[in-house]
A = this chain, B = another copy of it.
Amino acid sequence: MARIDETAKLFKIYSDVTRLRIIDLLTQGEFCVQDICRRLSLQQSTVSHQLKLLRDENVVTRRRDGKNVYYALKDEHVRTIYEMARSHVEEC
């Protein structure tokens, strides 16, 4: 039962369009918050809130460099999950 809860949680973090757009961008590399805002036309607050959720679920890593904070996908796992889902969607 706890296993199913965890699985639902895994799917949930990827189930929001804003978060998925951020993840999609991060497949291209590391970006700071501003970059993400500009590229995706999102408010800074929205992005920071979603990045916090992604961080809490170990989807992204955080690195501060001066005033900027850079985010990147945590590991290949994340990339794999995203790519797999994307390719599954293509097939339909």
Q: A residues engaging B (CB < 8 A)?
A: 3-8, 10-12, 14-17, 20-21, 24, 58, 77, 81-82, 84-86, 88-90, 92
Question: Which single residue of chain B is at the shortest CB-CB distance from A14?
Answer: B11
Query: Nearest chain B CB to A82's CB is how many angstroms away?
Result: 8
A20 CB to nearest chain B CB (Å)? 5
The one of B3, B16, B88, B90 that contacts A89, using a Cβ cutoff of 8 Å: B3
Assembled-state Cα–Cα distance A46/B21 (Å): 32
- Residues of B near A4 (CB, < 8 A) are 17, 20-21, 24
Q: How far is the CB of A18 from chain B (nearest CB, A)?
A: 9
Sampled A-B contacts (23; CB under 8 Å): A3-B90, A4-B20, A4-B21, A4-B24, A7-B14, A7-B82, A7-B86, A8-B14, A8-B15, A8-B17, A8-B20, A10-B88, A10-B89, A11-B11, A11-B12, A11-B15, A11-B20, A12-B15, A14-B15, A15-B15, A77-B88, A81-B84, A84-B84
